[in-house]
Chains A and B, each alone.
Chain A
Amino acid sequence: MTWSWQGDGTVILVAMLAGCACALVGSYLVLRRMSLMGDAISHAVLPGLVIAFLITHSRGIGAMLIGAVVVGILTALLTQMVARYGKVEEGAAMGVVFTILFAIGLVLIRRATDHVDLDPSCVLYGNIAHIYADAFHGTPVALKNLAIVFALNLVFVVAFYKELKVSAFDPGLSSTLGINANLMHYALMILVALTAVVSFEAVGSILVIAMLIVPPVTAYLLTDRLGIMLLLSVVFSGLAAVMSHLAVIAFPVWFNTPIQPDTSAMMTVFAGLFLAVAIVVAPRRGLASQAWQHMALRLQIRREDILGILYRFQEHLGDETAAAMPTEELRRIFGHGPLTSYALRSLRRRRLTVKIGGSSLALTEKGLHRAERLIRSHRLWETYVAQHSDLPLDHLHEPAERVEHFIGPRLETALREEVADPQADPHGRSIPSGHPEKND
């Protein structure tokens, strides 16, 4: 299939505008932990549309928008009422309200379709192909409407940035500052309803929900600044629109089929892909970063355990001068895996240990210092636990082995003060002296 700026360009623009408009208001739904509200409103507006049509007998955008806004507000109000008087949680109340309103819409739509083509499946799935065709007879209506709604959302989010922020974060404080949190809530609901209705035509009501939630959640994972989150969610929506339509065009070639998938469906798939990538690579919260932190911690513990063994070996020999332990022996104790190898190498690189006679390892002065601190933490902990509980002596070592890696200078000082005689541990071994130092 050949590229046409008029057709394909318009479709991409429509998808971008719909996605970005959704992302702007959807971000606040996600932040207010009411993502389901997008779902609720985008379904519940159906009866509003149908009733508006039945009254005006036209599919004029004005009447449709009024119908949608009225029902949108009604959804938010009814949800609060059902939650309060039905004494159920808000999620359940929302579920009750929007399904019933949607069903009423489905019933009414039968009555409407007697008169004109108001196609239920078009409401559900949208009809982006129509827009493609429309583009060749002047500017499609959907494009104009979406441009207006996107601009409206953008102005709202920028102009009321401070008010939206404080009312979403802390409604109580917001109201005491004179920024009515309820007012902001309903303003947001009205825009969600408007956005949903106008996006229907392009991407359909089911996919509107995805575009309201998925890009903002992706952005939320990647940043901890509100402004950047809004920006990223818009960028991801835009990218998803462009890439999805290109993929749609390429699809018949790749899979050798004459059938083209729907751009709006493809767009949701792309948004989902972005989210999947974000879940893996997100800083701090992402899987990769967590795995990395976990590995780094394991490596540090392994290094410290090796230092501990070397120290105890040296202590056992009673030799102040460096006692060397065969590397092979260390590998036997800690396993032959890559973690041990890497820990051994990084100990040498940090000049904490030194190789002696080719295959043995000894502590350097720096290494001895570090090991002393570790053993001190270990034995102080054992002493502390022994003095504060009557555990048998053989129960002390294991937990101390774990805790020793996490005792910082502050905790160490506190332990030293708690322990009556900080000279010897419960097993009678001496606790290395020295002062707690800053972790380096």
Chain B
Amino acid sequence: MSILVVEELGKTYSGFQAVRNVSFALEAGEMLALIGPNGAGKSTCFNMIDGQLAPTTGRIAIFGKSTAGMTPGDIWRLGVGRTFQVAATFASMTVAENVQMALISHHAARWLTLRWAARRHVAEAEHLLDLVGMADQGQRSCGELAYGDLKRLELAIALANDPKLLLMDEPAAGMAPRERHAVMDLTARIARQRGIGVLFTEHDMDVVFGHADRVLVLNRGTLIAEGAPHAVRANAEVQAVYLGAGSLYRTHT
């Protein structure tokens, strides 16, 4: 069974159709890239899948359950991890505490008032930080991390509820080239080990080619191509979207 099924998804903002009739599915252990030019509707799609936006039309099912009416919190509880284009972490906490916070929420302990939060799930947090290669940075303040490490921390937070689906919006944005591949390698390794399906958007074509099993191309809200990276690359319509339809303006030259 596919872990994520999107059917005929559409979103209209005050008359403007940002996304129309998008359908696809994601399998366990698969790395699926969602790409397209600016304004193609990638973020809108993402925000509908993670519950921040309600779709105008269509259905989304995660692990076979319809997510209609669910909040981002409900969807997290289904077993979905999420990272953001601009890393979202808790700046007044240490690296370890960031992960512990996610674990506390996952273990439904967030209403306790007379216990020390910093003493909860210490080993589990260490394990997750170790997994993303930050074992020795647990006691650092979140505010003093390099950006690449913030992205790794976000990944550790996203893994805290032992998800089977990861939604990553531009996981490599804002990082130096070498670091991008390191983070994507790490993500792919974890995904394969744990059978996690990963849906990610990305601008960096090296990252897409290096790490995606399959690619979806959005343009003006519509899915224009889908398939293995090399097949999509050969697609004429995709080339036109990326390079511009040169033939259109020949008359002027």
- Do A and B form a real pair? no
Residues of chain A whose beta carbon lies under 8 Å from any beta carbon of chain B: none
Residues of chain B whose beta carbon lies under 8 Å from any beta carbon of chain A: none
